[in-house]
Amino acid sequence: MLRTARMLPVAIAVVGLVLIAVGEGTTQGLGAVLVGVGALVALVNLLSRLTISSESDRARERRARRQFARTGRWPRGEQ
């Protein structure tokens, strides 16, 4: 999955750059659109990864707060 997430936007952008280089008029416009789409796909992948990592951070924080509420002490390593 990670390999696809990195390679797909690159492949889209490369196709767009090829179209810009060899095409004329409308074909160059399509190439520019594909370069933009490649950038958007990369951005969505990045934001998805950030969301997933922040969810695990929130879950760890919730567990620590529950333990603090039960025991009155913050868990070791969660300072």
What pLDDT, on the 0 to 100 scale, is given for residue 17?
97
Burial class (CB in 10 A: 0-12, 13-18, 19+), 67: middle
**Residue at 22 is within a domain:** yes
Instruction: Look at the block and give the residue holding tokens 């797909």.
Output: 8
**Residue at 53 is within a domain:** yes
Q: CA neighbours within 13 Å on the CB side: how many for 40?
A: 6
The stretch 42-60 carries a mean pLDDT of 85
Q: At residue 13, does pLDDT exceed 70?
A: yes
**Residue at 56 is within a domain:** yes
Number of domains, the chain: 1
What pLDDT, on the 0 to 100 scale, is given for residue 2?
64
Please say whether the dihedral angle defined by the alpha carbons of residues 67, 73, 76 and 77, taken in this order, is positive or negative: positive
**Residue at 63 is within a domain:** yes
Domain range spanning residue 42? 2-70
What pLDDT, on the 0 to 100 scale, is given for residue 78?
52
Task: Return mean pLDDT, the chain.
Answer: 89
Cα–Cα distance between 68 and 79 in angstroms, integer?
Answer: 12
**Residue at 79 is within a domain:** no
**Residue at 40 is within a domain:** yes
**Residue at 75 is within a domain:** no
The stretch 50-61 carries a mean pLDDT of 82
Cα–Cα distance between 12 and 39 in angstroms, integer?
Answer: 9
Q: At residue 51, does pLDDT exceed 90?
A: no
